[in-house]
Amino acid sequence: MNFNNNIKKSTRLSAILPGLGQINNKQYWKIPIIYGGYSVIGHYIKFNNKMYQEFRSALIYETDENTLTINPFPNFSESSLERNMDFWRRNRDLLIIFSGVYYLLNIADAHIFAHLKDFDTNNNISLKIKPSLKNLNSTKVIGISLNLNF
């Protein structure tokens, strides 16, 4: 398999199922990070949605004409219930957007590290500093010579 096909394969695999591109790149240590992130995001989406639903129901109970329904938050005014409902809905929606961004970051990670997989990381980089003696207009000039090898 040539280099470009491996990059495409890692990108596609990560798009199909998050973490597969990292497995293809042999970066197994990233799998718990990816799925841990999804678990945390999923938990907070669920929590924010639960709070949104509770304040939404409380607002409905507060504004309906039925005397049998009881507001679970009796100390909150109608405007306060509405503000809280909007707060939890906004947080939930932002987390849903963030989960999409997290998914795209997973794909980008697989793609970038597939590019860097065959990157030469040997330690043959050196810098040599030596005194130098040069002839300049038939006079000797003392200087410093820098040699960078990579």
Q: Give a yes or no: residue 148 inside a domain.
A: no
Q: If you ran DSSP here, which 8-state letter would residue 77 be given?
A: -
Task: Output the DSSP codes for 78-145.
Answer: HHHHHHHHHHHHHHHHHHHHHHHHHHHHHHHHHHHHHHHTT----S--EEEEEEEEEEETTEEEEEEE
Give the structural domain span for 7: 3-120
What pLDDT score was predicted for residue 67? 78
Residue 75, Cβ neighbours under 10 Å: how many? Answer: 6
How many structural domains compose the chain? Answer: 1
Q: What are phi and psi for residue 135, nearest 5 degrees? A: -95, 125
Give a yes or no: residue 144 inside a domain: no
In a domain, 128, yes or no: no
Residue 139 lies in a domain: no
Phi, psi for 72 (deg, rounded to 5): -70, -10
Is 147 contained in some domain? no
Predicted pLDDT at 121 = 66
Task: Give me the residues paired with residue 141 across strands.
Answer: 134
Q: Which residues pair with 126 in a beta bridge?
A: 149
Whether residue 137 is contained in a domain is answered as no
Q: Do the domain assignments include residue 71?
A: yes
Residue 67 lies in a domain: yes
- pLDDT of 66 reads 82
Instruction: Report mean pLDDT in 10-residue bins for the chain, 150 residues.
Output: 78 96 94 97 98 94 83 88 96 98 97 84 77 82 81
